[in-house]
Amino acid sequence: MERLTGQIADLLPSWSLPPVVDSVQAMRGVGFIVAVTVVAEVGDFSVSTIRGN
């Protein structure tokens, strides 16, 4: 697990969303892997599309 975490940490700077990962990780109880996973799934939180209405 530590090896994979290290590899993700090494690749993070080349990704477009490290500041978003930092912001998610700033929430209480959210660790590095959870933050990376959430951002990978959701993407950029500032871009929202609301369908309907």
Q: Give, in order, the Cα–Cα distances in Å from 8 to each of 28, 35, 46.
A: 21, 12, 23
Q: Using the structure block, give the residue that is written with the tokens 């929430």.
A: 27
Residue 52: inside a domain, yes or no? no
Global pTM? 0.76
| Distance from C-alpha of 22 to C-alpha of 27, rounded to nearest angstrom | 9
Residue 51: inside a domain, yes or no? no
Residue 32: inside a domain, yes or no? yes
Average pLDDT over residues 4-9: 92
Collect all residues with Cβ–Cβ distance below 8 Å to 48 and sequence separation of at least 6.
none
Residue 9: inside a domain, yes or no? yes
Split into its structural domains, the chain has a count of 1
- Return the pLDDT at 21: 93
Flag whether pLDDT at 44 surpasses 80: no
Residue 47: inside a domain, yes or no? no
Residue 53: inside a domain, yes or no? no
Both structure tokens of 53: 């209405």
Residue 6: inside a domain, yes or no? yes
Domain that holds residue 30: 2-42
pLDDT band at 46 (very low <50, low <70, confident <90, very high): confident
- Return the pLDDT at 28: 95
